[in-house]
Structure 1
Amino acid sequence: MASARRRGGTAAGLLALLLTATACGTVADRKPDALPVGYDTLDGTLRVWPARGGLAGDAAATAAVTDAVRAWRSPVDDRAHLPSSGILWSGEADGAPLALVAADVPGESASWLLQLTRHGDRYVVDRASEYTDPGYLVYSDVLPVQTSAGRRYLLSERVERLLGPKGRALVTRDGLTDPVDVPACQAVPLTTTLRATSSLPRGRAADRLLDLGTATTDPRYPLVRDETGSGRRALDDLDTCELADERGPFGSIPRRIGDRDAPRSVPESWPRGKVSVRALGEVALGGGEPADLEQLSWETSTGTMTAVVYRPASGEPVFSPADRASTLQAYVLPVPGQPLVVLSWRANRYTSLSVPPGTPRLVDRSGLVVVPQPASKATFSLAGAEKTYYRSVGGR
């Protein structure tokens, strides 16, 4: 029996041991041109992703979906490996044929969720999102689906119940929920109850996720893990479309492949979980109205990212681009009419911040300094007990 794989940490390794492939022989033994229907994983005796949907047994539909997936390419021109991919659902939704495929893309060590619809006598990939959490997509239990009627979710067989954004249990038919009212640019919570299985002997009463909104564009994956509920609090009333903008926290650091940016790929700053917020304090600039200054942090596929949010008493919040977590954080905050640089660190009796001569400190507190954005490149330094840290910020 071939063991199912997962790239991840200790918990992921345990799950990989418990989820085993049902088909005998290795993945490489399967026909290279075959796209399996369902995915060969077991959690004890429970098949996690069986073949579902009214067209799951339709050979013509399966062949057409296989042709479309074979022709599909990722933004960096990699293709799916068909034998280790699988059709998770094939049927009709909202009056039209729909297929959902977990695509294994070995060239990127990535998993993709492909959504296909039928156009005439063939299927086409309408949506394609990269699963940014390390490991296979099929180790998730809730997958996002977007149809003409709105957001739906495809659930694994481990899911006993899914509570939607308003805390109500969603109606599910053959693994696919009825349409759910999810805003375009607002994060909403989802709570999954998982039944008892070999990997979860007691089940799990509350497995929390955030849906970042239906306007999340491909190839970005819209669901983010939120185990503690901190992400829901952090993103409350924030516009996720602005967060995802190329100048916003979640979209501002592009993925690099070799020595080039890959703007069509998922940004390195795209969140996968552990979104939280920390208050930096109230600031009043130039005698104006006070505003709250907060620090967002979140986990990505490349580590922890942070950004600051400026919340005036009246008016819209202002975001900085993302900054990789470091001892001295430096953020460019584009406050209208008064662009700023925010410097933040964990202060102790040994730390001391230095700024370029003549730089006015609009805010000067332990662990927080705010200065006007310099017209040319400027370097700031934080002296610690054993080391000095430097950050440079470019001009306007």
Structure 2
Amino acid sequence: MTATADPEAAANELMPLATYLGSVLRRLVALPPLDLDLTQAYGNVLAGDVTVPHPVPAFDQAAIDGYAARWEDIAAAGRAGSHPSFGSFEGGPRPVRLNVVGDLGAASWRPVRLTPGACFSVAAGAPLPLGADVVVPVHWTDQGMANVEVYHAPKRGQGLRRAGELLAVGQVIAHRGAYVTPAMVAAIASAGIGHVVVRPSPRVVIVATGDELVDVGRPSQPGQIVDANSHALTAASVEAGALAYRIGICDDDPEGLRGLLEDQTLRADLIITTGGTGTGPGDMVRRILSRQGAVEFTDVALYPGAALGFGTVGAEEVPVVCLPGDPGAALIGFEVLVRPVIQLLAGAEPVFRPSVRAHLLETISSPGGLREFRPAHVAERRGGGYTVQPLAGGPYTLSGLAEANGLLVLGERVTHAAAGSTVDVLLLDRRR
């Protein structure tokens, strides 16, 4: 990347984003774990590794429908003779014939043993007879009932699963810090585990502040702004794995705001406010919460949206994050600050989105002294690697985010990035 230092950056008193993030995240701990029924655990984060207490499968079993046999009894099958599936052969031995001495289904439980020249008809999942070391697929035979002709011999060991082949005792099948997925539920249930210890999904309350705000459903008039933030941040919180509650709009009334936040501490693990974080005459959130001493507002070297607040409210000391009122800046603030906070409270590892290095397709400029997060479209290149196309940023970040699947990151000392240079891109994993 071509980078030039902004001469004003040295005099910039803004706190570096990495420093600010570290100071916030160090003050938080994951929510206390709880024991959940496996059917309720989906979407939660595991509080500890899950290990296999019993082998899976618990016994040698047929993996397919067919005939369980001894391989030495069928080894000569298919070397000569004829069958429509395998072509014609001249001379030599004919297909192997075995006696079918019984049928075994998945619910069979009595142990049985094979004798030379015999086989069992088996269903997938059935216990394997003692002495059997191969299961012949049905379509490789004449599908006989009392006797069966085997036209082709599988390799020894095919068509069956040995005890513990899928999951061995003591094997870690799910790691601490991972979100419980449907496939993980299946693996845990297969191991006979009915409960897991997880971190609860954080309960997040979202409040938009400002006398100028009106709810969606009507166009704004002079002196009015439609509240997009509380809706967007609620959706973003759900996407991050939280249980999100949109409170809506709170006017710039000091007592009303204090009372609202106090009430929400009873049901929240995290409160997000949006609007009022600046130093203007109408920025009531900063004025009110900073007076109480438990919320500190910081001007961070972040573009867009430099003013962020973090602290606690109420006797329960519930964490609160205060984001700017501009919708684009609020969503960027959510990505770089609130989302990691939610992940930390949930016990997820890692807390940050994955990132890649990508080939920049278009020359762009960036404000010096600020770490810019610009909406972008990232794509995999044929043959490996990634390309990234910048989208609308700055005051138009919101429109860019609506199309983005990544966030292009430009450091504080970068004022110019040329097409063809390599840049960092955070991958947004929202499903489309």
The TM-score range, normalised by the shorter chain, is: under 0.3
TM-score normalised by the chain length of structure 1:
0.24
Higher share of residues assigned strand: 1
Higher relative contact order (CA 8 A, sep 6+): 2
Higher share of residues assigned helix: 2
TM-score normalised by the chain length of structure 2:
0.23
